[in-house]
Chain A
Amino acid sequence: VIAIARQVLFLLIMSCSWQLVAAESLTLSDPDCAASFRNLASVAPEAWQRKPDSAAAQRACTALVAKLARSDQARAELAQWTTNAAQEPWLDRFATLWQQVRREQLATCPPIAFVTRRDGYGMGGAHAVMFAQKTGVGAAIMTWNPAQPDQAPRAIFTTATGFVWDLAPSSDGQTLLFTYKEAVDQPFHIWRIRRDGSGLKQLTSGRYHDFNPVFYPDGRIVFCSTRVEAYSMCQDYLASVLYTCDADGGDLRRVDFTTICTVAPAILPDGRIVCTRWEYQDKGLNTWEGLWTINPDGRRLQLYYGNTLIFPNARYGARPVPGTDEVLVTMTPHHHPPRGDIAVIDRKRGIENPLAMRKVTFETNIVPTVGKTWLDYMRHGDANKPNPWAVCDPWPLRDGVFLASFGRAPGNNQPGRNRLCLAHYDGTRFPLWDDGTTQAFYPVSLAATTPPRAIPGKAPIEAGDATVFVQDVYRGLEERGVQRGEVASLRVIRQQPKRWNTEGPRVFDHYPLVGAGTYYVKDNLGEVPVRADGSVHVTVPSNVELFFIALDKQGRELQRMGSVMQCTTGETVSCIGCHESRDSAPPAAARYTNPSGKPDRLTPPPWGTGAFDYVRHVQPVLDRNCVSCHAGRAPAAGMDLSGDKTRFFNMSFEALTERGVIDQTHRYQPARQKNDDFYGDIAKRAWVSYYFINQGPSGVFPAKGSGSYVSKLTRLIESGHGGKVNVPDQDRRALYAWIDSNANYYATWDLDRPHTAGGRDTWHRFNNGRITPEPWVDELRTAWNSANCTACHGAFGDDGRGWVWRSRNDVNLTRPENSRILNAHLARAAGGMGIGGNAAKDAPVPVFATTNDATYRAFLAAIEHGRDALRAKPSMDMPGAVAVPQERDFGKTFSK
């Protein structure tokens, strides 16, 4: 009863306030009028007032009237005015003209529907996972005819306790789909309502978020959903992908197989679904939200625009502009809601060309940008900040004209304020309806439009096989420096969706921790030979996320596909080449011939199938070839390549991914941890070339420029290590495959120590909601402090958050006596490394003369306790580990 009463009250409040702002009150203090002046005169009204420039103002007035006036009234008015005096009241005159033009423009606007919300935008967080986050309360769906501006909008749906996100009209304008949650702690679902407010129906249900619905022209509905039961890679949110259902919510079918988030679909005139798709394939995490197209049957996933742009971080929510082959998008930051500037994308100008994206609103300083080099990544600059004044929810009406919600985000103790405008590409805009307080979003036209073409076919539900055909891998690779004949095979890799949520501190930005580079547990599905003519014709598993690596005869990476693809069951995916121009038709080449007519099969890696597993696949290689020198108390060159356990990984993994033979300097420079390039520097100096996602590259991987092909370790192996070692071919291939998997370690998402750092922190435990050190760590700290190690090395400095890099491999939890913390300063005579003090710091260094040193004994005792603790509770890379499940709730609302 209370809820109903609140709803009625809310409706009353909203209904009473429906009134159009009196035209007379619209002056240059009106933000839309001011912005129109600013964009036409190229000077802000305030600046103009300080330094009046009649030419600029007259230019603005003339342009406004010439471009947009539809009757003679404004023209006549403009003609009357003199033009010679700077003190002419040009701003007032512009405002008068703007009001006149506004009336005329509104008359051209079709009937609309929109969403009003009590709490402004009402959602926070990164837009790609926004649906699962806490929302505001109170919303309504309104209809209104701008051609009859004196008539109040009509509320066809209201909620006092829930939240409405978006709207999508049918092409006849008679029915609306919307994303709605009945209460803030409930998941979103797809609802349908008639334009007149009748026929309200909930179409989806269950403990999942369903959102962003659009009608498909054959009557189906395309939407996004968390039904994939997976998590986004970094923060504690849910993954989402495209689904289709029939008109009443039945026959649910998954369309795309991204492992992160697909959002904001729309239907292009030719029937393809265009959507914003987020991916994380070994590249910079902030840039990877481009526009992709896919058919409703899951086939032909293709890049539409912008997979290497740094700014804007995301190309969000493309909507086709009627009568053109362009789309409108919102240029948005990665870590904030999809508010920013609106841009038009003319794909014909190049799918990675920043100039193909031109801004049509001018509220932020986002400039479409690509990196200068492939390694450039996005620093958290202006373009990843929330935009205080911004635009969202564009709805194209025709070429050059669109509806959108313009306004101020809440902040600085001011409430947010958004209102709807009819906007032109030159920056001129006119508020549609405004009562001075209500915030309006998601304007959609209710005019009947030509429906897009429907591409036939439903997505197959059962996973199975598909076929990939590449006409000639050298198309593209040859231009990038790969010689014909160099590519021996393609490796096919599957990225596993993330099974557990981020519910603890991240290590390398991972939770669960996977390795030093990639976010993903990856399956090496095997290799297929490339034929002499460059063609590949191979069966791959369907309904999963895949990518390819072109390998040379030695098994080294020639080219990594820095993006992912999918094949649906039964599909034949065809490619011209690898990284060839997407603006080219298939060039005339030798005919494809295939004596068998059948695709090849993948050959699984001989060292073991399943997920890349450092302990199973790589450590045995090192054990066979390296540890005879590189292990023990004083391993050769300080490189411990044994499989002994460290805090998160093992010794060899740490040594190869972090610590170089000569390069130990960064360990003792805590200040560098704050440096933006910290991780990147490590990756560059390490023995293997890998890409840490926070600073990952933004461009296309260069041919012969990444992974095993350029790793120092590869050179060492190939040179025979000064005649000391001859690594057998298969062992080399296993090492190279690991490098090219981007330095994986764990082969599972499962966790033995949930809620600790990375879910795998052997130094800490999680108790009663708190992360506390294992007792042996306290013991070690006490010894550290009493020996005043801090004088040179800084504080023990472990907060259990996983960000303390120094502690990664100083402590050997398998063979405590081999710990570097013991042996670095142990005299050579006693079997240690005998490293002296740091002369530059001019501080005495306690060197353990013998293993009887009291501090040495105290360290050793603590670490032996650590070894015992680990034996008692093995980690996931050890036999006997016990996986501890976490919560899996895909309808959860996260409160940030």
Chain B
Amino acid sequence: MWVAESAAQRIAECDAASGAIIRRVSVSGPPLALTIGRDGRLFVAVAEPRGRIAVIRDGAVAAEFPCGHTPSALALTPDGNRLVVAERFDGQVAVLDARDGRVLSRQPAIREPVALALTPDGATAVVVNLLPVGRADGDDLGCSVSLIDVNAAQPPRTIRLPNGSTGAQGVALSPDGAFAYVTHLVARYQQPATQLERGWMNTNAVSVIDLSHAALVATVLLDDPESGAANPWAVAVSPDGAWLVVTHTGSQEISLIDRPALHRRLAEPGVAARAVDDLRLIASLRRRLPAEVEGPRTLLVTNGQIWVAGYFSDDLAVRPLPASRAEAPAPSRRIALGPANPVRDPVRLGEAAFNDARQCFQTWQSCASCHPGEARVDAVNWDLLNDGLGNPKNTKSLLNATRTPPSMWLGVRANATVAIRAGFTHVQYLTVDDRTAGVVEAYLASLAPVPSPRLETDANGQRRLSARAERGQAVFTAADCARCHRPPLYTDQRQHDVGLGTGPDVGKSFDTPSLIEAWRTAPYLHDGRAATIRDVLTDPAHPHGRAATLSPDDLDALILFVESL
């Protein structure tokens, strides 16, 4: 058993039977995914802006294949010849020659591909995109699954998940390759966030995709009416196809779903169409078990056993697959990967609390439900109660939230310290102690911007503005954008009425958002009305749109500059 220890930047090889650690291999950055070839070579995705695949043979890194920005998932074709790599922040999927790392093809995904699985014939990569694309002030949006032809003979196909889908994290295929299962959230963003019961805000789901028709069969909710199964992450199918297993990293559980029974239910008239809102469908089909690790994320189902990795507890929990749904679950066996010392690092504790739905009434959601991807955005609007009803606001990234008071689009919270507590009380509907709120603040303060994929890499491997982006910077300065978007965080931390308010917000002033990481926080403006920076800069309804009068080249350069921050 090989385990990627991403925070420690190393791979642990352990004896699957005894749990004993055999050896550890350090890699040059955080390993986020790994796969093993039949020849014993281990391929490890090192998730850094200058991405690479470390090739480990005989306990040592034998080679590094360069790849795109933040490789987050990878798979090896059954013949062992090709590596398929999801390059998250490039929004691409690369196919590499597994022998030498040569890039055979690169094809576009939709937005932040974070997981992938290959069909048994190795021909198609089923790629999960974390976030929706598009403006958020309409009545329909959702993230997508991309079907990528590994041979690059056909253009990618896209399967849109249902309205409200966001935060997709995992994918698994049935053994025959007929179906794909994708974990994600279904945000009920259409109504005010007045409660949590019955999935009022975020529901947690697995979507069933018929690969032969490239069609969504159904989106199945994993919550019970009064208990959310928050933040489904990994999904796996047992080799015999009997079980679909899902980790819930928020509610700290695993779901064991009777896969044949699920498909039988979905084949009944009307069931599949209703499933996306049906909180009772899953009840008779699955067992919900405590994960017995902290932060269950990745998952392996093999040899009659379920292996769950504890992202925060640094351990594995192993339990036998039950013979049937009726069989009482056996307790799990814990395999410690590190010392038993409790974590004391406030940043790490804060990250755990941020991702922990036990800090939420009925475990419906964690902070990470609306702020997935390291406390960034879900690309959805929410109508929170702090500023009236009927005026939804686009989720803000929490990067630099501790450095840019006040908080919230209307600045209704004085600073992050206040906003964090208000978030627990008014969004999670529980209060947390000062210690928990404090470590969450420490975690948010620790967040560092990810270098933009629009930056160039120079000969020394340093990232820097391209020449064109430098021209955009000059335009930015000349147009006095910096008056409000003042460097270094590109915000003056003040509120301005630039005519953006609508409905109850007419005449209100909005807090200037930071432009750091603007390349990954779409859509834009307080109500998410702008799908792209270009849309912001060309909308005649507000002063940003004056940029439309720039020359096309200047406008392109300005956009590139903003997206390079």
B361 and A455 form a contact (CB under 8 A): yes
Set B192, B276, B361: member contacting A469, Cβ < 8 A: B192
**Closest chain B residue to A350 by CB distance?**
B280
B residues 426-469 in Cβ contact with A at 8 Å: 429-431
Residues of B within 8 A of A572 (CB): 192, 194, 385, 389
B residues 173-213 in Cβ contact with A at 8 Å: 186, 188-192, 194-195, 197-200, 203
Residues of A within 8 A of B388 (CB): 594, 597-598
**Closest chain A residue to B187 by CB distance?**
A588
B366 within 8 A of partner (CB): no
B149 within 8 A of partner (CB): no
A residues 440-456 in Cβ contact with B at 8 Å: 453, 455-456
Nearest chain A CB to B357 CB, angstrom units: 12
Residues of A within 8 A of B361 (CB): 270-271, 453, 455
A325 and B392 form a contact (CB under 8 A): no
A469 and B277 form a contact (CB under 8 A): no
Cα distance, A43 to B9, chains bound together (Å): 67
Which of A48-56, A160-168, A578-586, A727-735 contacts the other chain? A578-586
B227 and A325 form a contact (CB under 8 A): yes
A574 and B390 form a contact (CB under 8 A): no
A412 within 8 A of partner (CB): no
Nearest chain A CB to B366 CB, angstrom units: 15
B164 within 8 A of partner (CB): yes
A662 within 8 A of partner (CB): no
B residues 101-154 in Cβ contact with A at 8 Å: 137-140
Residues of B within 8 A of A453 (CB): 361, 430
A residues 306-357 in Cβ contact with B at 8 Å: 325, 347-350
A471 within 8 A of partner (CB): yes
Given A325-B227, A595-B503, A597-B503, also A586-B200 (CB < 8 A): yes
Chain B interface secondary structure, helix, strand, loop or mixed? loop
Nearest chain A CB to B16 CB, angstrom units: 30
Cα distance, A349 to B279, chains bound together (Å): 11
A590 within 8 A of partner (CB): yes
Cα distance, A298 to B190, chains bound together (Å): 26
Residues of A within 8 A of B200 (CB): 574, 585-586
Residues of A within 8 A of B280 (CB): 348-350, 583
Which of B218-226, B236-244, B253-261 contacts the other chain? B218-226
B30 within 8 A of partner (CB): no
Q: Interface code A471-486, partner B: CB below 8 Å = 1, 0 otherwise?
A: 1000000000000000
Nearest chain B CB to A425 CB, angstrom units: 14
Q: Interface code A579-623, partner B: CB below 8 Å = 1, 0 otherwise?
A: 000111111111111111111000000000000000000000000
A302 within 8 A of partner (CB): yes
Cα distance, A583 to B138, chains bound together (Å): 27
B431 and A594 form a contact (CB under 8 A): no
B91 within 8 A of partner (CB): no
Residues of A within 8 A of B191 (CB): 469, 471, 574, 576, 586, 589, 592
B225 and A347 form a contact (CB under 8 A): yes
B389 and A586 form a contact (CB under 8 A): no
Cα distance, A584 to B277, chains bound together (Å): 5
B470 within 8 A of partner (CB): no
**Closest chain B residue to A348 by CB distance?**
B283
Cα distance, A469 to B192, chains bound together (Å): 9
Residues of A within 8 A of B429 (CB): 455
Q: Interface code A758-786, partner B: CB below 8 Å = 1, 0 otherwise?
A: 00000000000000000000000000000
Nearest chain B CB to A440 CB, angstrom units: 33
**Closest chain B residue to A597 by CB distance?**
B504
Set A270, A573, A588, A590: member contacting B226, Cβ < 8 A: A270
Given A453-B361, A456-B430, A592-B190, also A597-B391 (CB < 8 A): yes
Residues of A within 8 A of B390 (CB): 537, 592-597
B503 and A456 form a contact (CB under 8 A): no
Residues of B within 8 A of A659 (CB): none
A585 and B188 form a contact (CB under 8 A): yes
**Closest chain A residue to B227 by CB distance?**
A325
A556 within 8 A of partner (CB): no
A300 within 8 A of partner (CB): yes
B residues 277-331 in Cβ contact with A at 8 Å: 277-280, 283
Set B190, B197, B385, B504: member contacting A588, Cβ < 8 A: B190
Interface size bracket, B side: 35 or more
A587 and B425 form a contact (CB under 8 A): no
B279 and A583 form a contact (CB under 8 A): yes
Residues of A within 8 A of B225 (CB): 347-348, 582-583
A270 and B362 form a contact (CB under 8 A): yes
Nearest chain B CB to A584 CB, angstrom units: 5
Set A456, A573, A588: member contacting B425, Cβ < 8 A: A456
Residues of A within 8 A of B430 (CB): 271, 453, 455-456
**Closest chain A residue to B381 by CB distance?**
A591
Cα distance, A606 to B186, chains bound together (Å): 45
B198 and A593 form a contact (CB under 8 A): no
Residues of B within 8 A of A456 (CB): 425, 430-431
Residues of B within 8 A of A271 (CB): 361, 430
Cα distance, A896 to B455, chains bound together (Å): 87
B residues 250-282 in Cβ contact with A at 8 Å: 276-280
Q: Interface code A793-830, partner B: CB below 8 Å = 1, 0 otherwise?
A: 00000000000000000000000000000000000000
**Closest chain B residue to A591 by CB distance?**
B190
Cα distance, A537 to B203, chains bound together (Å): 24
A582 and B192 form a contact (CB under 8 A): no
Set A455, A582, A594: member contacting B198, Cβ < 8 A: A582
B389 and A597 form a contact (CB under 8 A): yes
B190 and A586 form a contact (CB under 8 A): yes
**Closest chain B residue to A471 by CB distance?**
B191
B26 within 8 A of partner (CB): no
Residues of A within 8 A of B391 (CB): 594, 597
Residues of A within 8 A of B199 (CB): 585-586
**Closest chain A residue to B281 by CB distance?**
A583
Residues of A within 8 A of B203 (CB): 585
Residues of A within 8 A of B221 (CB): 585
Given A597-B388, A597-B391, also A348-B224 (CB < 8 A): yes
Given A349-B283, A583-B225, also A594-B503 (CB < 8 A): yes
**Closest chain B residue to A594 by CB distance?**
B390
B163 and A588 form a contact (CB under 8 A): yes
Given A455-B430, A469-B192, also A588-B164 (CB < 8 A): yes
**Closest chain B residue to A271 by CB distance?**
B361
B162 within 8 A of partner (CB): yes
A residues 652-676 in Cβ contact with B at 8 Å: none
Residues of B within 8 A of A596 (CB): 390, 503-504
B554 within 8 A of partner (CB): no
B5 within 8 A of partner (CB): no
B277 and A300 form a contact (CB under 8 A): no
Cα distance, A595 to B506, chains bound together (Å): 9
Nearest chain B CB to A610 CB, angstrom units: 30
Residues of A within 8 A of B48 (CB): none
- Greatest chain A CB density within 10 A among B189, B191, B392, B505 is at B191
A584 and B504 form a contact (CB under 8 A): no
B90 within 8 A of partner (CB): no
**Closest chain A residue to B191 by CB distance?**
A471
**Closest chain B residue to A268 by CB distance?**
B226
Residues of A within 8 A of B503 (CB): 593-597
B351 within 8 A of partner (CB): no
A-B contact pairs, 6 of them (CB 8 A): A302-B197, A348-B224, A456-B425, A471-B190, A537-B389, A594-B504
Apart from A572-B192, A586-B277, A592-B192, what 9 extra A-B contacts exist at CB < 8 Å?
Answer: A456-B425, A456-B430, A537-B389, A574-B200, A585-B277, A589-B191, A591-B392, A592-B383, A597-B390
Q: What residues of chain A have their CB less than 8 Å away from a CB belonging to chain B?
A: 270-271, 300, 302, 325, 347-350, 453, 455-456, 467, 469, 471, 537, 572-574, 576, 582-599
Q: What residues of chain B have their CB less than 8 Å away from a CB belonging to chain A?
A: 137-140, 162-164, 186, 188-192, 194-195, 197-200, 203, 221, 223-227, 276-280, 283, 361-362, 381, 383, 385, 388-392, 425, 429-431, 503-505
Q: Which 5 A-B pairs have the closest CB atoms?
A: A597-B504, A594-B390, A585-B199, A597-B388, A574-B194
